[in-house]
Structure 1
Amino acid sequence: MSSRLPTVLVVDDEVRSQEALRRTLDEDFEVFTASSAAEAVAVLEREWIQIALCDQRMPGTSGVQLLREVRERWPDVVRIIISGYTDSEDIIAGINDGGIYQYLMKPWQPDQLLLTLRSAAEMHRLQSENQRLSLELKVSGPVLTQRVSGKRATLRRRFAPDALLRAPDSPMNALCDLVARIADFDIPVLLTGESGTGKELLARALHYGSARAEHGFVVENCGAVPDTLLESELFGARRGAYTGATEDREGLFRQADGGTILLDEIGETSAAFQVKLLRVLQEGEVRPVGASRPVSVDARVVAATNRDLEAEVRAGRFREDLYYRLAAITIAVPPLRDRPMDIPLIARHHLDLIGESLGRAYRPFDEEILSCLIAYRWPGNVRELRNEIMRMAALADGDRLSVAHLSPRVLRAADDHQEAELSLLAGLDGDLKTRLEALEARIVNETMLRHRWNKTHAASELGLSRVGLRNKLVRYGLERRK
Structure 2
Amino acid sequence: MDPRDDLPLVLVVDDELRSQEAMRRTLDEDFRVLTAGDTDIARQLISRHEVAVVLCDQRMPGQTGIEFLKEVRERWPEVVRIVISGYADSEDIIAGVNEAGIYQYVLKPWVPEHLLQTVQGAVEASQLHRGLQRLELDLRAGPQALRARRQTRLREAKAVFDFDRIVRAEGSPLDGVCATAQRLARYDLSVLILGESGTGKELLARAMHYASPRQNGPFVVENCGAIPDTLLESELFGHRRGAFTGAVEDHTGLFQRADGGTVFLDEIGETSPAFQVKLLRVLQEGEIRPVGSARAVPVDVRVIAATHRQLEDEVRAGRFREDLYYRLAGATLQVPPLRERPGDILPVAESLLDAVARELGREPAEFDDDARAVMVGYPWPGNIRELRNEISRALALGDGPLLRATDFSRKLLGGQTGAAHAQRTSQLTGGTGLALPGSGTLQERLDAIEAMVLREVMLRLRWNKTHAAKELGLSRVGLRAKLQRFGLETK
TM-score by length of 2: 0.81
Among residues 271, 294, 297, which one is paired with 1:295 in the alignment?
297
CA distance in 1 between counterparts of 2:25 and 2:155 reads: 38
Percentage of matched positions with identical amino acids: 55
CA distance in 1 between counterparts of 2:97 and 2:16 reads: 24
CA distance in 2 between counterparts of 1:277 and 1:97 reads: 27
Deviations, residues 285-313 of structure 1 (Å, cap 9, x unaligned): 00112222101111001111112222322
Moved more, 154-163 or 315-324: 154-163
Task: Quote the offset at 1:314 in angstroms.
Answer: 2.7
CA distance in 1 between counterparts of 2:134 and 2:112 reads: 33
Q: CA 1:35–1:355 in structure 2 vs 1: closer, same or farther (change >3 Å)?
A: closer
Q: Match of 1:312?
A: 314
Q: Match of 2:237?
A: 235
Task: Quote the offset at 1:207 in angstroms.
Answer: 1.0
Aligned residue-pair number: 442
CA distance in 2 between counterparts of 1:378 and 1:14 reads: 33
Deviations, residues 346-401 of structure 1 (Å, cap 9, x unaligned): 12222222444567762543332221221222222112222222233334445443
Q: Match of 2:211?
A: 209
- Tell me if 1:464 matches 2:441: yes
Q: Match of 1:375?
A: 377
The answer for unaligned runs of 5 or more in structure 1 is 425-441, 452-456, 470-482
Among residues 75, 78, 94, which one is paired with 2:77 in the alignment?
75
Among residues 106, 109, 120, which one is paired with 1:107 in the alignment?
109
The answer for unaligned runs of 5 or more in structure 2 is 447-491
Q: CA 1:407–1:135 in structure 2 vs 1: closer, same or farther (change >3 Å)?
A: farther
Q: CA 1:255–1:419 in structure 2 vs 1: closer, same or farther (change >3 Å)?
A: closer
Please list, as runs of the form range in 1=range in 2, the aligned pairs for 1:5-404 lying within 5 A after superposition.
Answer: 5-139=7-141, 141-357=143-359, 362-404=364-406
Moved more, 71-80 or 8-17: 8-17
Secondary structure in 1 aligned to 2:110?
Answer: coil
Q: CA 1:283–1:400 in structure 2 vs 1: closer, same or farther (change >3 Å)?
A: same
Q: CA 1:139–1:375 in structure 2 vs 1: closer, same or farther (change >3 Å)?
A: same
Moved more, 195-204 or 309-318: 309-318
Task: Quote the offset at 1:102 in angstroms.
Answer: 1.6
Letter in 2 for 1:79: R
CA distance in 2 between counterparts of 1:417 and 1:33 reads: 45
Deviations, residues 259-288 of structure 1 (Å, cap 9, x unaligned): 110011112222221111111001000011
CA distance in 2 between counterparts of 1:363 and 1:151 reads: 31
Deviations, residues 186-205 of structure 1 (Å, cap 9, x unaligned): 11111111111100011112
Q: Match of 2:432?
A: 450
CA distance in 2 between counterparts of 1:177 and 1:465 reads: 31
Task: Quote the offset at 1:402 in angstroms.
Answer: 3.5
Task: Quote the offset at 1:9 in angstroms.
Answer: 2.5
Task: Quote the offset at 1:458 in angstroms.
Answer: 8.8
Moved more, 195-204 or 6-15: 6-15
CA distance in 2 between counterparts of 1:412 and 1:448 reads: 24
CA distance in 1 between counterparts of 2:125 and 2:391 reads: 25
Secondary structure in 1 aligned to 2:84?
Answer: strand
Q: CA 1:77–1:417 in structure 2 vs 1: closer, same or farther (change >3 Å)?
A: farther
Q: CA 1:399–1:141 in structure 2 vs 1: closer, same or farther (change >3 Å)?
A: farther
Task: Quote the offset at 1:72 in angstroms.
Answer: 1.4
Q: CA 1:418–1:355 in structure 2 vs 1: closer, same or farther (change >3 Å)?
A: farther
CA distance in 1 between counterparts of 2:105 and 2:135 reads: 29
Letter in 1 for 2:267: E
Q: Match of 1:430?
A: none
Task: Quote the offset at 1:462 in angstroms.
Answer: 6.5
Moved more, 173-182 or 239-248: 239-248
Q: Is the 8 A contact 2:229 2:275 kept in 1?
A: yes
Q: CA 1:55–1:382 in structure 2 vs 1: closer, same or farther (change >3 Å)?
A: same
Q: CA 1:121–1:381 in structure 2 vs 1: closer, same or farther (change >3 Å)?
A: farther
Among residues 386, 411, 414, which one is paired with 2:413 in the alignment?
411
CA distance in 1 between counterparts of 2:365 and 2:102 reads: 43
Moved more, 370-379 or 258-267: 370-379
Deviations, residues 188-231 of structure 1 (Å, cap 9, x unaligned): 11111111110001111221111111111111111222222211
Q: Match of 1:477?
A: none
Secondary structure in 2 aligned to 1:94?
Answer: helix
CA distance in 1 between counterparts of 2:45 and 2:428 reads: 57
Q: CA 1:177–1:84 in structure 2 vs 1: closer, same or farther (change >3 Å)?
A: same
CA distance in 1 between counterparts of 2:376 and 2:105 reads: 37
Secondary structure in 1 aligned to 2:431?
Answer: helix
Q: CA 1:105–1:283 in structure 2 vs 1: closer, same or farther (change >3 Å)?
A: same
CA distance in 1 between counterparts of 2:360 and 2:139 reads: 31
Letter in 2 for 1:211: P
CA distance in 1 between counterparts of 2:236 and 2:114 reads: 19
Q: Is the 8 A contact 1:64 1:91 kept in 2?
A: yes
Letter in 1 for 2:123: A
Letter in 2 for 1:181: R
CA distance in 2 between counterparts of 1:217 and 1:54 reads: 27
Q: Match of 2:473?
A: none
Q: Is the 8 A contact 2:220 2:264 kept in 1?
A: yes
CA distance in 2 between counterparts of 1:199 and 1:57 reads: 36
